[in-house]
């Protein structure tokens, strides 16, 4: 995608990825439902990281709608996140999704 190329040209280091991911996490309203430490509507970023690292799961695959929810599998909760995936996350480029995942993984 052309947009991917545009993002790629701006990214020179892992730190740039994390910075872009942090910006997107706010701009794309992820922060409304995901806080670093506390459950708000969705699970905290730390809880997501814990499950993804324990299971060796791929966060980008989830954001692309290619893998099932593994953190909170309550159907009502899954539906809320699924609405985001189908609504606007699908319009993000692979590079942007990788940046979001890098930012989330950087929260320790
Ligand atoms: C309206 C609230 C809301 C917004 C906005 C939102 N999420 Fe979620 N998210 C949820 C809920 C609820 C869950 C729990 C269900 C689940 O685990 O899929 C969740 C789960 C997740 C999970 C864990 C998936 C799993 O395997 O269980 C990830 C990763 C995630 N969100 C990333 C994001 C990112 C990145 C954004 C912004 C692009 C975002 N979310 C925006 C509500 C939201």
Whole-number average pLDDT of the chain:
94
Q: What percent of the chain has pLDDT over 90?
A: 85
Domain hosting residue 20, numbered range:
2-106
Decide whether any atom of ligand 1 lies within 6 Å of the 21 Cβ. no
Domain count, the chain: 1
Q: Give the per-residue pLDDT at 101.
A: 97
Render pLDDT for 58-107 as a digit per residue (tens, 0 to 9): 999 999 999 999 999 999 999 999 999 999 999 999 999 999 999 999 99
CATH for 93: 1.10.760.10
Q: What percent of the chain has pLDDT over 70?
A: 98
Cα distance between the two ends of the chain: 32
Most informative mutation of 23, 25, 42 for ligand 1 (most atoms within 8 A of CB): 42
Is residue 32 pLDDT above 70, yes or no?
A: yes
């Amino acid at each position: 995608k052309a947009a991917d190329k545009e993002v790629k040209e701006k990214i020179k280091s892992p730190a740039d990825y994390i910075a872009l991911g942090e910006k997107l996490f706010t701009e794309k309203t992820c922060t409304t439902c995901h806080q670093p430490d506390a459950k708000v509507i969705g699970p905290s970023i730390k809880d997501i990281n814990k499950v993804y690292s324990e299971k060796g799961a791929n966060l980008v695959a989830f954001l692309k709608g290619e893998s099932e929810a593994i953190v909170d599998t309550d159907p009502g909760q899954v539906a809320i996140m699924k609405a985001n995936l189908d609504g606007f996350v699908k319009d993000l480029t692979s590079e942007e999704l990788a940046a979001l995942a890098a930012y989330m993984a950087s929260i320790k």
